[in-house]
Amino acid sequence: MVVLGSTLGKKNPTPAKLAPFECGKDPFSLPMGRLAIKFYLTAILFILFDVELVFLYPWGVVYRQLGVLGLTEMGVFLGVLMVGFVYAWDNGALDWQ
């Protein structure tokens, strides 16, 4: 419905409609300001540890069937991720100053 309304609806672009609007006041900065690199680094770390959960959940469902070998493999996987987390922490990736 939204797509049909926007494509088939009447278009009347006046200068007042095309002007940027920010809470009833004139905008004082660019619409897309610069973001600090720390936001991108935090997003990458979040995705990294989110992927960890994608691998951890199926293991948790069938861990009794895997036995000692499955436990060892998951321990190695979590160990590698923990080393990466400690490395990021030591390099100051999680500091906001």
50-76 burial code (b ≥16 CB/10 A, e <16): eebeeeeeeeeeeeeeeeeeeeeebee
Superfamily name and number for 2-90: NADH:ubiquinone/plastoquinone oxidoreductase, chain 3 (1.20.58.1610)
Residue 72, pLDDT score: 92
pTM exceeds 0.85 for this model: no
- Locus of tokens 């990294």: 48
Measure the CA–CA gap between 93 and 6, rounded to whole angstroms: 43
pLDDT, tens only, 53-91: 888 888 888 888 888 998 899 899 999 989 988 998 898
Could you tell me the residue ranges of all domains in the chain? 2-90
